[in-house]
Amino acid sequence: MPDLQRQINERVAAFVSDVTEIARQAAMDTLTEALHDGKPAPARRTATTGYTKPQAPARRGRGGKRSPEELDQMAEQLHAHIQENPGERMEEIARSVGSSTRDLALPVKKLLSDRRIRTEGQKRATRYYPASGGRGKARAKRKPGRPARKGRGARKAK
């Protein structure tokens, strides 16, 4: 009988220890999640399970790269908005498409380099317009045998 009592006591103690560890782990997870503003906690080692892997975030984190598809989609959305609302500033465009000006910077650069949009003004007063004449301006070709201009297009007086 004493042997049976000892076995029961050992099993109850092990069970209580396991339940205590699970409750402690749940409390730590809740606290860590609250301190990290809902972001998953970094990986850590637990006594019973070894290393735990953090869950992947649903959205890209700060500084995370966007895929080329995401950038193309954003550029198309931005181009369509600029065609419908020519002359808006970046803050107005960002508010309308539901994004930040920082997130729109790269798609705007791509649209400008592709000559699908044009700008007027400088810095915060820059206004965006659709480019006139198709995919962009054609560059003027130099006449054969003429050297390229130097500086800001000015010619030297002879």
Average of per-residue pLDDT across 34-49: 60
pLDDT band at 151 (very low <50, low <70, confident <90, very high): low
Take residue 48 and report the two structure tokens written for it.
């019973």
CB atoms within 10 A of CB 108: 21
Where do the domains of the chain lie, and which CATH numbers do they carry? 2-44 (no CATH), 68-130 (1.10.10.10)
**pTM for the model:** 0.47
Of the segments 20-24, 38-42, 146-150, 152-156, which one has the largest average pLDDT value? 20-24
Average of per-residue pLDDT across 120-149: 70
To the nearest whole number, what is the mean pLDDT of the chain?
A: 78
Residue that wins the pLDDT comparison between 34 and 93: 93
Residue pair 129/90 in contact (Cβ under 8 Å)? The answer is no
Separation CA 104–CA 152 (nearest Å): 30
